[in-house]
């Protein structure tokens, strides 16, 4: 399989939103790497529209859940329902059993609902009572959150953040892009018919995933990936400022994610092997939600992206 096989997916997403190429690439990397994506951005930046466009271009079931403070774990997982005619309980599946799940404003749900996602996102199964149910082989969570409006929101637990393969930041469009957004909206108001597209099948997607997983990654680059993650845990070996800024480093999941996503990035670029710049391109989105900064760093206005940028400059490339 070649990257051109994904062109229909790219084209469909591009027909729905203008710009946001890094965000689109992050969605495709997560799709190829069998991972989940956390999307952060201000309201109205087409986060939900982009996720829906991806779901429309990929074969499978799609479901959107609006997370609210009164949401219950059973609203996601499902529940046992008593059938009088059979005299027994029957499990009714919840939204988690769809292939692509859009968790809109995920930080508005309480801790019990967040914990309901942990097993599903990590092990692709859920447990209800004494029974375990497997989720579909293609299962992807794309969650959105608003970074500014904090009223009625809950902090996402670190254990859950770690289960997101990447965290994408969606920014405001440029002036030219915003002008094109106006033109796109005008066309969509006139053209009411939904265009028919060729959806990416599960067979094609799984073949792409196998190709990506087999892409060559030099052992020296494996060492480089390990050094990057180790540097988040032992920053004093590299820089005094990094030591002051970092409270907790990334977990081994970050090491695995760097290797997976670097392969996917290289494959999307049409390369036949992973190079150091592929690792550096995906590192911010993999590490930014896995690093906890100190209060001193926050007081100095240091962000996790600035921490990762400095780290990439300090850790030697093989």
DSSP per-residue letters across 193-229: SPPP--PBPHHHHHHHHHHHHTSB--HHHHHHHHHHH
Q: What is the CATH number of the domain that holds 238?
A: 1.10.8.80
Residues 132 and 67 in one domain: yes
Residues 181 and 251 in one domain: no
Residues 21 and 156 in one domain: yes
Residues 69 and 149 in one domain: yes
Between the alpha carbon of residue 128 and those of residues 78, 102, 111, 147, 179, the distances in Å are 8, 22, 18, 33, 50
Residues 223 and 138 in one domain: no
Q: Which of 185, 207, 231 is the last residue of a domain?
A: 185
For the stretch 225-260, pLDDT in tens is 999 999 999 988 888 888 889 889 999 999 999 999
| pLDDT grade for 111, boundaries at 50, 70 and 90 | confident
Domain count, the chain: 2
Residues 165 and 32 in one domain: yes
| pLDDT grade for 193, boundaries at 50, 70 and 90 | low
Mean predicted confidence (pLDDT) in 170-187:
84
Of 307 and 149, more confident: 307
Residues 146 and 252 in one domain: no
Q: Is residue 210 part of a domain?
A: no
pLDDT at 110: 82
Q: Is residue 91 part of a domain?
A: yes
Residues 39 and 179 in one domain: yes
Q: Is residue 221 part of a domain?
A: yes
For the stretch 195-234, pLDDT in tens is 667 788 999 999 999 999 999 999 999 999 999 999 999 9
CB atoms within 10 A of CB 45: 20
For the stretch 113-146, pLDDT in tens is 888 888 889 889 988 877 888 999 999 999 998 7
- CA angle, 112 as apex, 258 and 32 as ends, to 5°? 25
Residues 179 and 219 in one domain: no
Q: Is residue 197 part of a domain?
A: no
Q: In which domain, by residue range, is 45 found?
A: 3-185
Q: What is the CATH number of the domain that holds 61?
A: 3.40.50.300
Q: Which of 185, 200, 225 is the last residue of a domain?
A: 185
Residues 119 and 237 in one domain: no
pLDDT at 195: 61
Average confidence score pLDDT of the chain? 87
Residues 36 and 125 in one domain: yes
User: Is the predicted pLDDT of residue 87 greater than 80, yes or no?
Assistant: no
Instruction: Give Rg (Cα) of the chain.
Output: 21
Residues 151 and 29 in one domain: yes
Taking the model in full, what pTM does it have? 0.90
Q: Which of 185, 201, 231 is the last residue of a domain?
A: 185
Q: Is residue 191 part of a domain?
A: no
Angstrom distance (rounded) from CA 216 to CA 222: 11
């Amino acid at each position: 399989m070649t990257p051109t096989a994904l062109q229909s997916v790219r084209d469909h997403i591009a027909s729905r939103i203008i710009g946001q190429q890094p965000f689109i690439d992050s969605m495709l990397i997560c799709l190829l790497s069998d991972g989940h994506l956390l999307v952060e951005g201000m309201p109205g930046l087409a986060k939900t529209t982009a996720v829906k466009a991806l779901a429309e271009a990929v074969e499978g079931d799609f479901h959107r859940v609006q997370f609210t403070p009164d949401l219950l774990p059973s609203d996601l997982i499902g529940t046992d329902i008593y059938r009088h005619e059979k005299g027994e309980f029957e499990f009714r599946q919840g939204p988690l059993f769809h292939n692509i799940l859009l968790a809109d404003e995920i930080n508005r749900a309480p801790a019990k609902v967040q914990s309901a996602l942990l097993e599903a996102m990590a092990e692709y199964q859920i447990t209800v009572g004494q029974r375990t149910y497997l989720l579909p082989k293609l299962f992807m969570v794309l969650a959105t959150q608003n970074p500014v409006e904090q009223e009625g929101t809950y902090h996402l637990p670190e254990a859950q953040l770690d289960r997101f393969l990447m965290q994408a930041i969606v920014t405001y469009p440029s002036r030219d892009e915003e002008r094109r957004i106006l033109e796109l909206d005008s066309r969509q108001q006139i053209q009411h018919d939904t265009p028919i597209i060729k959806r990416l099948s599960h067979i094609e997607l799984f073949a792409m995933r196998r190709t990506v997983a087999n892409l060559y990654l030099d052992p020296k680059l494996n060492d480089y990936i390990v050094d990057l993650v180790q540097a988040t845990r032992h920053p004093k070996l590299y820089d005094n400022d990094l030591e002051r800024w970092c409270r907790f480093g990334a977990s081994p999941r970050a090491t695995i994610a760097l290797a997976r996503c670097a392969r996917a990035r290289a494959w999307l670029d049409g390369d036949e092997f992973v190079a150091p710049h592929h690792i550096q391109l995906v590192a911010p989105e993999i590490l930014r939600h896995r690093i906890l900064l100190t209060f001193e760093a926050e007081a100095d206005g240091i962000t996790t992206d600035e921490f990762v940028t400095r780290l990439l400059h300090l850790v030697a490339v093989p």
